[in-house]
Every structure is written in C-alpha cells, then in structure tokens.
Structure 1
Amino acid sequence: MTTTNDTRGVASQELFERCTQIRQLLAAGNANFHAIGVQYNLIVDTRLAEKAGFKNAPEFLTQQIKELSRSTLVTYGAVARAFSAEVCSQYGVSLLNQLIVYVEAAGVELDANDPSTMLISVPGADGELEEKFFGECTVVDLRKAIQRLRRPTSSAPLPAEVDARAQQCSAALTGYFPQQTGVRVEVRNRKGKAVMSLKDVPLEQMEQIAALLSTALRSSRAA
C-alpha cells in the first residue's frame, strides 16, 4: 500500500525533474518558450506541485527559477496550450498572447492551426477601423484593438427615467459639497446602465450622503 509520504516523494522527484527541464530550456534561449509552457502545463494539470507539498506550480517554479516571473509562466502556458510549436515559432509569444486576449474580448473563434488570416479590427489615429489579417499585425496593433473592445461604450442610451434619477442624485450631492472641498461626483453610462462614483467623501459625512441620496431617489420616483 502506497503511503502519503511515498506519494509525496514520487511527486516531488518528478516535479524537480520537470523543473530541471524548464531550467535547461530557459538556458538554451527564449525560442523554447513553447516547450517551457508545455512543461508548466503538465505540472499544473497534474497538480504535481500540490502533491509534492508546495502551494502551487507558479509559486514553486518562481522560487526555483528566479528568471521566470509568475506572469511569464502563465503566459507561456496559455500560449503553449492554444498553439503548436510551429505556430509559436512563427509568431512569437507576445503576439500570440495578445491574440488570445483579443479573441476573448471580441467573442470570436480562434483559428489555432492557422491564425494568419484571422481578421483583427485595428483602430487608426482618426478612430476609423481597419480590418487587418493577424499575420500583418504587430503587438501594438493587437493592443489597440483590445483597448477598443474593452473601452466602456455608451451605445445603449440610458432610459429617460434612469437618466433623470442619476442626474438628480448627482445634483443633490454636488450641491451639498462646496466646490473647494474636492469631493467629486461622476455619473457614467456603462453599457446602458447608470453608475455613480464618489471620490474623497469625508467618512463622517457618509450618513448625510445616504440621507441625501434617499431623498433624491424618492423625489425622482414621485416625479
């Protein structure tokens, strides 16, 4: 019967062997990032670090291999999981990682076998969108495309009654605090929903804030 200590010992031996392989791949050059990612994913998927008594794979590996940060390991693993070694060799880790982020943000399907002809909507300096093939894109192009997708949109206008309530609440708070106090009230349209931000409100005045908002909301409902 295998004991817990035996299981931990076997896992620990395999874990350190894979760590040694990663160290050797790293010493051979950055071109091996796909192979490093494969080793990292194996450690994560089999929970090898946990079985050996460590907290998790990133923490163990970053302690053992100082040249690798947690974010780098996660990036290598994500790219290696999504793409073949050949695709990784062709495009590099930075560009492919940006493509993964873009695909998630855009809600489109990833062509992992041949991403070269995937269309990326890249905003230009004038805000106009240019459809570019992934194979023609730079890392900067992908970052611009991702930023555009993540930017809050006001394409869904606020319903009139919601806008009125938001503005009434904002006016009540803005009028209560003298301008020189530095308290700021901001109402934004976040995808058709009104959100309000308060900044630099003194803690001792929070009760009064609640009372002002309650009054403003009751007034807007009655209107």
Structure 2
Amino acid sequence: MKTMMAIGVDMTLDQILSTMDGLARQGSTAAHQLGTLYNHVVQRKLAELAGYKNAQDYFSKKLKALSQATLSTYGAVARSFTEEVCTQHGVYHLRALMRYVEAIGVELGSDPGSLGIDVPREDGTVVTKPFSECSVDEVERATRAKKATPPARVPVPDQARLLFFEDSLFRNFNGVAPVRFTAHNQDGQTYLNLQNVPMSQVARLMKALQEGLEAQPSLAAR
C-alpha cells in the first residue's frame, strides 16, 4: 500500500496542486490521499488566501483531471476513514456506506466491514449481509429502502428535553468545538448521539448536559 507524504503546514497551494495532479493519474487508488489534500486546502482556506472564491473555485480552474463531485466524495471519505480502510473497501463503496449509516442513524466503528446491511431482495424480503460482502448497488438499495421507512418519532416529553440539550450544547461549545448533536428513537427508547467532542472539553460537555437536564421542559405539558 502506498503511504501518503506528510502534509506540511507550510506547503503552498501550488505544491499541493502539483501533488494532487500527480496522484490524479493513479485513479481511485489514490483517493484517500487526494481527499486528505483537498480537505487540507478547504480547512486552511488556502484558496481564499490566494485570491479565489473558495477551494471549489480554485480546483475547478486548476485541476481539470477531477470533477468537484469526485473531490467532494474523496474528501468526505478521507474525513471518516483511514487510508487502510479506504484501500480495503474502495472509496465509492465507503461513500455508499456513509449514506446508509446516516439513513439508519448509527455510528460507524473502526471495522466497517462487519456492519450488517439490510439488503432488500426482488421478492420483497430482506437479507442482512456484512458490508464487506455487499456491492455498491446493494448498499445503495438498502439506503433507499431505509429512507422510505418513516423513522419512529421521538416522544414529545423527550423532544422538549432534547431542545434544552441542543441549546445548552450550542451555548457551551459555540466557538470552542464543532460538536454535533442528534437523537433518534429505536424500540421505544430515545438515543442521544454526540460527535466531535474534544477529550480536553469533557468537563464542558458534562456541564452542558447538566444544564440541559436541569432546565424545565415546558413543552412536555403541551
């Protein structure tokens, strides 16, 4: 497996473009490396600093070998998976998996290959297969089937409490970290999902959750 060169903080936009241009000739085998470089340009706003509207504007003018859709796909996969996982499963296979887990509201573990995918058959039945044994088409059909099924509604009292949690997390983490908060109902139980909480901010998280827990949910009585 090819190992990607380290991205130096002092790499210029031209240096990154030259590297990406060379990697583009390797096709999807260099997808993770390309995605990581693309993310670096986006996160550090290198294109804007060079006078372009944004990274998309820059690459559309300078990197003709790859479309914006392809760069966005590579970038999304590189943010979520290691290069090893990307090499093992393939970038478009993993992008399909990302859409599937978003549809069912679960978190991905370090080994996505073992995740069960509920694949619909032509006769209307459903078979659960490990992701590693599914084709891209099967994962996409499974995603469409999941999206067609209305998700279970979160009970009204829990909806009220979730509003307070969301407000408290926003107040405590605004400008500190891009914490994401979602919730879903499964088998009558409401589950909270938190992402992007820095280890150094666990105390802040506990404070935010406590504030949300102590708030009075007036919506629950409606």
TM-score range, shorter chain: 0.5 to 0.7
2:82 corresponds to which residue?
Answer: 84
Alignment of 1:88-127 (within 5 A): 88-111=86-109, 113-127=110-124
**CA pair 88-121 structure 1, distance change in 2 beyond 3 A:** same
How far apart, in 2, do the equivalents of 1:33 and 1:15 lie? Answer: 19
How far apart, in 2, do the equivalents of 1:80 and 1:154 lie? Answer: 29
Letter in 1 for 2:133: E
How far apart, in 1, do the equivalents of 2:19 and 2:131 lie? Answer: 32
1:33 corresponds to which residue?
Answer: 31
How far apart, in 2, do the equivalents of 1:22 and 1:143 lie? Answer: 29
Q: Percent identity?
A: 40
2:138 corresponds to which residue?
Answer: 141
2:28–2:91: 8 Å Cα contact kept in structure 1?
no
Letter in 1 for 2:62: Q
Deviation at 1:62, TM superposition (A): 2.0
Deviation at 1:100, TM superposition (A): 0.7
2:14 corresponds to which residue?
Answer: 16
Structure that is richer in helix per residue: 1
Deviations 1:136-173 (A, max 9, x none): 110011110111122264999xxxxxxxxxxxxxxxxx
Q: Does 1:42 align with 2:40?
A: yes
Higher mean displacement: 37-46 or 49-58: 49-58
How far apart, in 2, do the equivalents of 1:154 and 1:40 lie? Answer: 34
In the comparison of the two structures, how many residue pairs are matched?
Answer: 145
How far apart, in 2, do the equivalents of 1:135 and 1:151 lie? Answer: 24
Instruction: Give the secondary structure class of the aligned counterpart of 2:64.
Output: coil
Deviation at 1:114, TM superposition (A): 1.0
How far apart, in 1, do the equivalents of 2:37 and 2:81 lie? Answer: 14
TM-score, normalised with respect to structure 1: 0.61
Q: Does 1:129 align with 2:126?
A: yes
Unmatched segments (≥5 aa) in structure 2: 1-8, 154-222
Say which one has the larger Rg.
Answer: 1
Instruction: Give the secondary structure class of the aligned counterpart of 1:67.
Output: coil
1:59–1:70: 8 Å Cα contact kept in structure 2?
no
Deviations 1:165-204 (A, max 9, x none): xxxxxxxxxxxxxxxxxxxxxxxxxxxxxxxxxxxxxxxx
Instruction: Give the secondary structure class of the aligned counterpart of 2:70.
Output: helix
RMSD over equivalenced CA pairs, Å: 2.2
1:117–1:134: 8 Å Cα contact kept in structure 2?
yes
